[in-house]
Amino acid sequence: MKRLSPHQLLSPLSLIVFAALIAGAYAILHAAGWREHVSILSGTLSEAGGSFATQAWQAGLYMVAYFSCVILVPILLLAAAIQMLAIRLRLRR
Protein backbone atom coordinates (compact mmCIF):
# COMPACT_ATOMS: atom_id res chain seq x y z
CA MET A 1 0.00 0.00 0.00
CA LYS A 2 1.35 3.37 -1.01
CA ARG A 3 1.68 6.02 1.69
CA LEU A 4 0.55 9.57 1.03
CA SER A 5 2.97 12.34 1.79
CA PRO A 6 1.73 15.50 3.51
CA HIS A 7 2.12 17.35 0.20
CA GLN A 8 -0.21 14.92 -1.56
CA LEU A 9 -2.69 14.94 1.33
CA LEU A 10 -2.98 18.73 1.23
CA SER A 11 -2.86 19.16 -2.55
CA PRO A 12 -5.61 21.17 -4.25
CA LEU A 13 -7.11 18.02 -5.76
CA SER A 14 -7.28 16.21 -2.42
CA LEU A 15 -8.90 19.24 -0.77
CA ILE A 16 -11.54 19.26 -3.49
CA VAL A 17 -12.09 15.52 -3.02
CA PHE A 18 -12.51 15.98 0.76
CA ALA A 19 -15.03 18.77 0.13
CA ALA A 20 -16.94 16.56 -2.30
CA LEU A 21 -17.02 13.68 0.19
CA ILE A 22 -18.38 15.93 2.94
CA ALA A 23 -21.01 17.41 0.62
CA GLY A 24 -21.91 13.92 -0.60
CA ALA A 25 -22.36 12.61 2.93
CA TYR A 26 -24.64 15.54 3.75
CA ALA A 27 -26.64 15.01 0.55
CA ILE A 28 -27.15 11.33 1.37
CA LEU A 29 -28.34 12.05 4.92
CA HIS A 30 -30.61 14.81 3.69
CA ALA A 31 -32.09 12.58 0.98
CA ALA A 32 -32.64 9.86 3.59
CA GLY A 33 -34.88 12.26 5.51
CA TRP A 34 -32.76 12.62 8.62
CA ARG A 35 -33.44 16.35 8.75
CA GLU A 36 -36.74 15.79 10.52
CA HIS A 37 -34.96 14.04 13.40
CA VAL A 38 -33.31 17.34 14.36
CA SER A 39 -36.64 18.24 15.97
CA ILE A 40 -35.37 16.22 18.93
CA LEU A 41 -33.46 19.36 19.96
CA SER A 42 -36.74 20.97 20.93
CA GLY A 43 -37.80 17.88 22.87
CA THR A 44 -40.19 16.46 20.29
CA LEU A 45 -39.79 13.15 18.54
CA SER A 46 -40.31 13.06 14.80
CA GLU A 47 -43.18 11.16 13.27
CA ALA A 48 -40.80 8.94 11.35
CA GLY A 49 -40.62 6.63 14.34
CA GLY A 50 -37.77 4.94 16.08
CA SER A 51 -36.53 5.12 19.62
CA PHE A 52 -35.28 8.26 21.30
CA ALA A 53 -31.68 7.00 21.16
CA THR A 54 -31.92 6.22 17.44
CA GLN A 55 -33.38 9.62 16.63
CA ALA A 56 -30.75 11.32 18.76
CA TRP A 57 -27.96 9.58 16.83
CA GLN A 58 -29.56 10.45 13.52
CA ALA A 59 -30.01 14.07 14.56
CA GLY A 60 -26.41 14.27 15.76
CA LEU A 61 -24.97 12.80 12.58
CA TYR A 62 -27.15 15.04 10.43
CA MET A 63 -26.05 18.15 12.34
CA VAL A 64 -22.37 17.20 12.05
CA ALA A 65 -22.81 16.64 8.30
CA TYR A 66 -24.74 19.91 7.90
CA PHE A 67 -22.28 22.08 9.80
CA SER A 68 -19.35 20.39 8.04
CA CYS A 69 -20.97 21.13 4.71
CA VAL A 70 -21.70 24.74 5.61
CA ILE A 71 -18.39 25.53 7.32
CA LEU A 72 -15.69 23.13 6.09
CA VAL A 73 -16.60 22.77 2.41
CA PRO A 74 -16.19 26.49 1.58
CA ILE A 75 -12.93 26.62 3.54
CA LEU A 76 -11.55 23.59 1.70
CA LEU A 77 -12.58 24.97 -1.70
CA LEU A 78 -11.06 28.38 -0.95
CA ALA A 79 -7.84 26.73 0.21
CA ALA A 80 -7.69 24.67 -3.00
CA ALA A 81 -8.28 27.79 -5.12
CA ILE A 82 -5.57 29.73 -3.28
CA GLN A 83 -3.12 26.85 -3.67
CA MET A 84 -3.84 26.55 -7.39
CA LEU A 85 -3.35 30.29 -7.80
CA ALA A 86 -0.06 30.16 -5.89
CA ILE A 87 1.15 27.24 -8.02
CA ARG A 88 0.31 29.09 -11.24
CA LEU A 89 2.09 32.22 -10.04
CA ARG A 90 5.14 30.17 -9.06
CA LEU A 91 5.24 28.46 -12.47
CA ARG A 92 5.20 31.80 -14.29
CA ARG A 93 8.45 32.87 -12.65
pLDDT of the residue at 93 = 77
Predicted confidence (pLDDT) per residue in 27-42, tens digit: 999 999 888 888 877 7
Q: What are the residue ranges spanned by the domains of the chain?
A: 52-93
pLDDT of the residue at 45 = 75
Predicted confidence (pLDDT) per residue in 26-81, tens digit: 999 999 988 888 887 777 777 767 788 888 898 899 999 999 999 999 999 999 99
pLDDT of the residue at 21 = 97
H runs (alpha helix) in the chain = 6-9, 12-31, 52-67, 73-92
| 42-58 burial: b if 16+ Cβ within 10 Å, else e | eeeebeeeeeeeebeeb
- pTM as predicted: 0.82
